[in-house]
Chains A and B, each alone.
Chain A
Amino acid sequence: MVDDLKPPAPNNTPAREAVKPAEGVNLSRKTTTAAIKKPVGKKKKVADDTSPLFSRRSWLAVAWGSFSAASAALLAATGRFMFPNVLNEPPQQFKIGFPDEYAPGVDERWKDRFGVWIVRTPSDVVQEASGFYALLVTCTHLGCTPNWLSAELKFKCPCHGSGFRPTGINFEGPAPRPLERARIVMAEDGQILVDKARKFQFELGQWTDPESFLRI
């Protein structure tokens, strides 16, 4: 154990004085080490100096330092590994055809593939114009997929019974807020383009945004 090694007693203790050193011999630990001690990391050598380039301390510092840096980099790379670059998920932007292909009311043809209901209305509750809006099929309670009950003219979530009007506004059950609308615009070729990357929430006053409703 390192603790067992005690440094030699300083020169002024009685035990030392009992043994007189020979002339010229220096018993002091301080001066002895100072004579051969080189500054850490210094590489300058004098002509007949045979001490190593790196002290053991500086070499270990370099080794530990680079090992720690490499380990930190590896850890960061592992963290980045967990975020995939490619997703096998349906695209967020998609065209859904021409306006003429849609009758007034709720259309379910894209519900399974893209997760939106396309609703054509003669008079929107907020925009007060005729046109299209796209409702995201995610219940605002805990994320289940509601069903469109055409006979009762409402969206009803099977998980906990949240109910939404065709406009998306919640009126029964535990849902705290209306269904969200996706961005819906006209593409250059005349088809309707739905963009789920941008969503609009009624309770934040975002349904007045022109991109949340396509006026036809």
Chain B
Amino acid sequence: MTSKLLTIAHYTLLEAARNKLLRLALFILAIGLAITLFLKQVAITETREFQLTFLAILYRLAAVFVLAAFVIVSQVREANDKVMELMLSRDLPRSSYLFGKLLGYLGVALVLAFIFALPQAFFADLPRASLWGLSLFLELAIVAALSLFCVLTLNQVVSSLGAVLGCYALSRSMAALQLIGASQASEGGGVLSRIADYALSGIAFFLPRLDLFTHTGWLLRRDTYVPDVPWLIVQCVVYTVLLSLAALFDLRRRNF
């Protein structure tokens, strides 16, 4: 079973290479660096901070979008070309197919995180750039599992991509939304505010705490909050497992 899983992961990585994903990542890298050079000319002070902030935000969002788009388009193409049906008609358990695909996508996430973290090492110090890169990989792992779950459930490019990006944005801003909801409820906002506060807290239980991942501040200042790395790993593993089991649940129920 392991060899089948690894074979699928290998072909997933091969597909990423043939889709010129590496070239796209390098192109985004070059664009970011070019804009950074431009920022160096226009910023009067805190030039390095300007460059780092811009690069960190651009690369993180680009990595999330590229990975989510790749997973979704790849899966939809495989479904349309009946490749998935062909593979599952062979002696291949659905779980091997799913975890093999996930492993391949995690490999792509690792490559993307490495590429986009590399230039940060030139602007920030190496340990902080490494921490940022590790956190980006963990964040991308969740995005890969989320994309796989959404595309296996929705089977459409636009709706899957919308669901992934919406879920990502919500996870990133949920802590701030909770604080706003809690402050309004405590300031006598009435029953509706309290209901909204409870609803937000309830939704938050189903989302990963992405607001604690990959902060630009880690790259900028030495005195800023440094994350609890083991906790980030636990959150990533738990949520990735949850999403992949949910995806497997849906895949196992499907009739081809």
Q: Do A and B come from one complex?
A: no
